[in-house]
Chains A and B, each alone.
Chain A
């Protein structure tokens, strides 16, 4: 599955890191980093991350 984060919207709140830590993380400066290509086994966690994002920045592309 492909994951896309709109970095213009992203505020690095890290709510996605709480719900899908295998796909999303914060770097040492607190900036969001993520795997744009994630295994399908992560789908339910990424879906939860989409819903948890306070600024609606995450999309599952396929």
Chain B
């Protein structure tokens, strides 16, 4: 029986499995999952799931019945892949032959080098969340390293739980990369109003254990004493298992608009690990670590893979999902639609950054992205507007076959 191997058993792996079966795949599907838990939702791990003992039965995804038709192998990792021979080498020493391949390995939390820090919680997996949650007790001092979304959300959650919180980051403004200086500074003011102390433009030199806690020495000479520190310094795509196949693995795996890795028929990628061009913006392949991307790319990749394996041409229509994300910090929800990173001008189009606001991100005069602080109804309107304005004309794209 023909076999599709899905490497990665989180949201992307689950959704592509469901989409493959519902697109008419009648062969076998084997899912290789390094984690031992069934697929679960991650957004709450830096928010609600940290406020009380995390519960996997609440976090685990509802699955479509067809997902159970796959052979799920938990606690196993792909260590190598030969795209020509169509085989995977697995961490249990076995080799798995496949006809079609899906890379759904996502990203892993980045860690400080061991010479700087030997422990410290990260926030990516359920197990990370279980380790961190009991440490966020009232009165505890927490140092959060990193001021991206995860760092800022953990800081806000810890403050709400009664912790005293420091945030250390190498950038001069929190959320600088995803949101830019203007909105990042507004978010910083909100955190400071809740008592968070920022140490920006500096980095951690060394963390040592002392008593039951830690001393965090910063490059600017400051030393912070804390009970717990959190490593929230970003993540790296899990692609080492794909090495040796001539693929572009510079930042995730480069794919075409059909989600084929390196344009190779019968081998696709989904979710956080996939770098693909979106004709809403331009032809530059980008990774998009947003909530709905695993589901969107899974549908596209499943359709491509089923066509490729049947020797049929793939869907000629271009694939252009609208990037969108949200983040909860204190009483404000930050939401975004579109691509903020390519903007050359930012303008507050409604409201005030210190209360509620809608911010437009423009490139060459065209709105390519928007950020909202609060204003939930406006978010629905702006999303609809962006879908209308950014959706490319429905002409068949080249290279489908």
The 8 A CB mask of A12-52 against B (1 = contact, 0 = none) is 11110110000000101110000000000000000100111
Would you call B376 and A12 a contact (CB within 8 A)? yes
CB of B185 within 8 Å of the partner chain: no
Would you call A54 and B383 a contact (CB within 8 A)? no
Which A residues touch B333, using CB under 8 A?
Answer: 30
When C-beta atoms are compared, the residue in chain A nearest to B18 turns out to be A51
| Chain A nearest CB, measured from B322 CB (Å) | 9
Q: Please measure, in the bound complex, the distance between the C-alpha atom of A12 and the C-alpha atom of B375, giving whole angstroms.
A: 12
Which A residues touch B48, using CB under 8 A?
Answer: 11, 55
When C-beta atoms are compared, the residue in chain B nearest to A19 turns out to be B292
Would you call B383 and A18 a contact (CB within 8 A)? yes
Which B residues touch A9, using CB under 8 A?
Answer: 58
Would you call B376 and A26 a contact (CB within 8 A)? yes
Q: Please measure, in the bound complex, the distance between the C-alpha atom of A11 and the C-alpha atom of B64, giving whole angstroms.
A: 23
Would you call A30 and B58 a contact (CB within 8 A)? no
CB of B250 within 8 Å of the partner chain: no
CB of B394 within 8 Å of the partner chain: no
Would you call A54 and B41 a contact (CB within 8 A)? yes
> Given A14-B380, A56-B58, A56-B61, are A51 and B291 neighbors across the interface (CB < 8 Å)?
no
> Given A9-B58, A13-B326, are A55 and B377 neighbors across the interface (CB < 8 Å)?
no
Would you call B376 and A30 a contact (CB within 8 A)? yes
**Which residues of A are at the interface with B, using a C-beta cutoff of 8 A?**
9, 11-15, 17-18, 26, 28-30, 47, 50-52, 54-56, 59
Listed from nearest, the 9 A-B pairs whose CB atoms lie closest are A30-B376, A54-B43, A26-B376, A54-B291, A54-B41, A50-B62, A56-B41, A13-B326, A55-B44
